[in-house]
A and B are shown apart, each in its own frame.
Chain A
Amino acid sequence: MKPVGIILRREFASYFATPLAYVFIVIFLVLAGLCTFYFGALYERGQADLLPLFSYLPWLYLFLVPAVSMRLWAEERRSGSIELLFTQPITIWQAVLGKFLAAWAFLGIALVLTFSIWITVNYLGGPDNGAILAGYLGAWVMAGAFLAVGSCMSAMTNNTVIAFVLAFVVCTLFTLAGFTVVTEWSRELFAGIAKWSLWGEGMRSAVESFGAALTDGIATLSFYTHFSNIMRGVLDLRDFLYFGLVITFFLLASTVLLDARKSR
């Protein structure tokens, strides 16, 4: 697995070789501060915790993570360096993993740099720092899931703009899935279908239970549902496992896509 580390280091250094990293970090920190203090009303709430920051993070990640992930493969194709990389004695999986880990570490650094908000909260009151640490860990793992989706979308195309849009759309679906608007809509849709007179009695209840199961299924798929558990300090291994599975799935999908493009 040595090539993973080599690719990780190269990729990570390349973020800081261009203004990209600095621009990203500044925008991320400004927006995170804005969300916490202005929209999240950290001062006005009178509670010493980081919920105002954490509850806005999924929305920030929604368009900032695709901005990082869009170049992962699309840029490599555009410049032709993918041919250089894939004719070295490494596997596609090693390259996928190395690039992902570098971007993930980079997002981790951006996240850690919000520590001034944490200091503010500790200065103003006595927060549960264990819960905050868990929240940060959850946020980083969630960022990884966004990133893995983005990696997969970037592997599909050699156009960075398309990679961005695809990643944004898929991440939005994954985030919104857990919202009451969506779950209510889905529940009502199936209730409506079940009311149709052409069903028999048995079929009607079957449709209803299928609808309920599907709605629950959609809600469980949501990044937001899992992250909101973690950010409130409810540490359930299943939430972390969920993000781990999402990351693994989309990285494997990236590998398969990149491999399939070789034989196109």
Chain B
Amino acid sequence: MIKTQNLTKKYQWLTAVDDLSFSVEPGEVLGFLGPNGAGKTTTMRMIAGFITPTAGSASICGHDVVGEPLAAKAALGYLPEGAPTYGEMTVRQFLDFIANLRSLDGTHRKARLDYVIGRLELEGVLEQTIDTLSKGFRRRVGLAQAIVHDPKVLILDEPTDGLDPVQKHEVRTLIGEIAKEKTIVISTHILEEVDAVCTRAIIIARGKLVADDTPEKLRQRAPSGRLDDVFRTLAA
């Protein structure tokens, strides 16, 4: 599970994330919504331990991300914004590297690697360097990296960005498949995605939490019953 308490990130000129408190339980798929620049990525980076909060705290499976960073990171699978990887490595080398850092070994390691390679359909590009891959494949390599160690908690920053409709559907199916025992947070600004995979949605605007509800309840907030309208009203 994920828990944040009064999580705040201030930069010199602006408060990117302002006093954000929420928690996500196993089995939940939380959609993290907000206009560009609302603080989605900053929040995810703080939970993932890449940047340090100015105030407040975040924990993963009870491990504080600042106090016990290694335990928190070990329990987490994280897809950073833009799915960065090492371009000069082949897909196989890259996944091996991550499996090493995640201390996977023996038959479990082989089973996990086979699973992610098969599930994300990477067999055909295993020996290609990541630089030569299309955007969709790179995103899938990033996803493979995030789930290879079968983490309890998964944070995906725009997992379907740059994918074609078929691939988007595939990724959503994958998330639905593994969602049962896991705690998942995905950020997106594609609202149809919220309906497709999320059990709950949080909307933030200018770093502040403005709504936290199930997609159905959120929809009822607008007379039209459309999520777009709710989003536009809340984010304005």
Do chains A and B interact in one complex?
Answer: yes
- Mask, B92-133, CB within 8 Å of A = 1, is 010001101111000000000000000000000000010000
> Given contacts A18-B88, A262-B52, are A80 and B80 in contact (CB under 8 A)?
yes
Given A18-B88, A89-B74, output 16 extra A-B contacts at Cβ < 8 Å.
Answer: A2-B103, A6-B101, A10-B97, A14-B89, A17-B89, A79-B86, A80-B84, A81-B86, A83-B50, A83-B81, A84-B80, A87-B50, A88-B101, A88-B102, A89-B103, A90-B101
CB nearest to A3 among chain B residues: B101
Q: Which residues of B contact A86 (CB under 8 A)?
A: 49-50
Indicate if the CB atoms of A88 and B80 lie closer than 8 Å. Answer: no
Chain B positions near chain A (C-beta within 8 angstroms): 11, 45, 48-52, 54, 69-71, 73-74, 76, 78, 80-82, 84-89, 93, 97-98, 100-103, 129, 145
Q: Which residues of A contact B86 (CB under 8 A)?
A: 10, 14, 79, 81
Indicate if the CB atoms of B88 and A14 lie closer than 8 Å. Answer: yes
Residues in A90-136 with C-beta less than 8 Å from chain B: 90-91
Indicate if the CB atoms of B102 and A13 lie closer than 8 Å. Answer: no
Complexed CA–CA distance, A87 and B78 (Å): 7
A–B complex contacts, Cβ < 8 Å, 8 sampled: A6-B97, A6-B101, A14-B88, A89-B70, A89-B103, A90-B101, A262-B51, A263-B54
A85 to chain B, nearest CB (A): 9
Indicate if the CB atoms of A83 and B84 lie closer than 8 Å. Answer: yes
Interface size on A, residues (CB 8 A): 22
CB within 8 A of A13: which of B52, B84, B93? B93
Q: Which of B76, B81, B84 has the most A CB atoms < 10 Å from its CB?
A: B84
> Given contacts A10-B97, A262-B52, are A84 and B76 in contact (CB under 8 A)?
no
Indicate if the CB atoms of B70 and A17 lie closer than 8 Å. Answer: no
> Given contacts A86-B49, A262-B50, are A6 and B100 in contact (CB under 8 A)?
yes
CB nearest to A260 among chain B residues: B52
Complexed CA–CA distance, A18 and B20 (Å): 44
Indicate if the CB atoms of B145 and A84 lie closer than 8 Å. Answer: yes
A231 to chain B, nearest CB (A): 36
Indicate if the CB atoms of A79 and B87 lie closer than 8 Å. Answer: yes
Q: Which residues of B contact A13 (CB under 8 A)?
A: 89, 93
Indicate if the CB atoms of B52 and A263 lie closer than 8 Å. Answer: yes
Q: Which residues of A contact B74 (CB under 8 A)?
A: 89
A31 to chain B, nearest CB (A): 26
Q: Which residues of B contact A14 (CB under 8 A)?
A: 86, 88-89
CB nearest to B149 among chain A residues: A89
Q: Which residues of B contact A83 (CB under 8 A)?
A: 45, 50, 80-81, 84
Complexed CA–CA distance, A79 and B71 (Å): 26
Complexed CA–CA distance, A13 and B82 (Å): 24
CB nearest to A90 among chain B residues: B101
B108 to chain A, nearest CB (A): 17
CB within 8 A of B70: which of A6, A18, A91, A263? A91
> Given contacts A14-B86, A80-B84, are A88 and B98 in contact (CB under 8 A)?
yes
B111 to chain A, nearest CB (A): 20
Give me the 5 closest cross-chain CB pairs, A-B, nearest first: A80-B84, A263-B52, A83-B80, A89-B74, A89-B73
Q: Which residues of A contact B81 (CB under 8 A)?
A: 80, 83
Indicate if the CB atoms of B88 and A87 lie closer than 8 Å. Answer: no
Q: Which residues of B contact A90 (CB under 8 A)?
A: 70, 101
Q: Which residues of A contact B84 (CB under 8 A)?
A: 79-81, 83-84
Residues in A71-86 with C-beta less than 8 Å from chain B: 79-81, 83-84, 86
Complexed CA–CA distance, A142 and B196 (Å): 59
